[in-house]
Amino acid sequence: MEQKRIGIMGGTFNPIHFGHLLLAEQARDSFGLDQILFIPSGHPYMKEQQMVTDRYLRLEMTRLAICENPFFQLSDMEVKRQGPSYTFQTLADLKEQSPETDFYFIAGADSIFDMEKWKQPAAIFRDCTVLAAVRDQAVHPSLEKEILRLQQQYKARIETIPMKEVGISSTDIRNRLKEGRSIRYMVPDQVIAYIEKNHLYRENESGKESSRDA
């Protein structure tokens, strides 16, 4: 029997948008993944100086965004975990639950240059294959060099996902909402409705909590 192949889509998702969904679907299609597991971070430790929207609100927005895709599943494991959200811990927990599963951690290509700074990078590279999204379908020589270095130093398994430039970011979405501008076609309609219902990302938003390395 073939081992199950599960992609991990982690992040703050503050808020989740079509760029996240497109990357997840491209990874699933390109690497024949059985499922994509979306894992919103609970306490993003690298953003502890910022104020991040409440974890349960971000969890619900993610659920609404992915509910129509049968290959997308939601996990609240980081939201429920006490303390900072560390990728190595999430992977260790997943491997313990499903030791026969192959895990694929989906990230932007820029993350490849930062992963060595994450908590216990050797454990991350040991427990998953990293799939790095490459914008405009071109692998820059500096990225090739860094991938080779990580492969040599950590025996890291790193593959690239060819992606078209989408040009959507959660920061831009939050700024547009603060300015009273439209985010239609950037975010799923169900998520827009939830944002409006809960008055999120306004100047006086109350659904905040103090702050993932990814």
Neighbours of 137 (CB within 10 A): 11
pLDDT at residue 138 greater than cutoff 70? no
Give the CA dihedral 198, 39, 23, 21, nearest 10 degrees.
-30
Question: How much is the pLDDT for 207?
Answer: 57
Question: How much is the pLDDT for 135?
Answer: 80
Work out the average pLDDT over 101-114.
Answer: 95
Work out the average pLDDT over 122-144.
Answer: 90
For residues 107 and 130, is the Cβ–Cβ distance under 8 A?
yes
CATH number for the domain whose boundaries are 5-167: 3.40.50.620
Inter-residue long-range contacts of 202-207, CB under 8 Å, 24+ positions, other chains counted: 202/177, 202/178, 203/178, 205/53, 207/53, 207/54, 207/57
Work out the average pLDDT over 126-138.
Answer: 88
Question: How much is the pLDDT for 210?
Answer: 42
Kindly state the DSSP code that residue 70 receives in the 8-state scheme.
T
For residues 154 and 122, is the Cβ–Cβ distance under 8 A?
yes
Q: Which residue has the higher pLDDT, 202 or 103?
A: 103
The tokens for 89 are 């811990």
Work out the average pLDDT over 76-103.
Answer: 95
pLDDT range class, residue 54, cuts 50, 70, 90: very high
Question: How much is the pLDDT for 139?
Answer: 76
User: What number of helices (H) and strands (E) belong to the chain?
Assistant: 9, 8
Residues of the chain with pLDDT > 90, as a percent, come to 80
pLDDT range class, residue 205, cuts 50, 70, 90: low
pLDDT at residue 211 greater than cutoff 50? no
> Which residues are CB-contacts of 136 (< 8 A; sequence separation ≥ 6)?
163, 164, 165
pLDDT range class, residue 21, cuts 50, 70, 90: very high
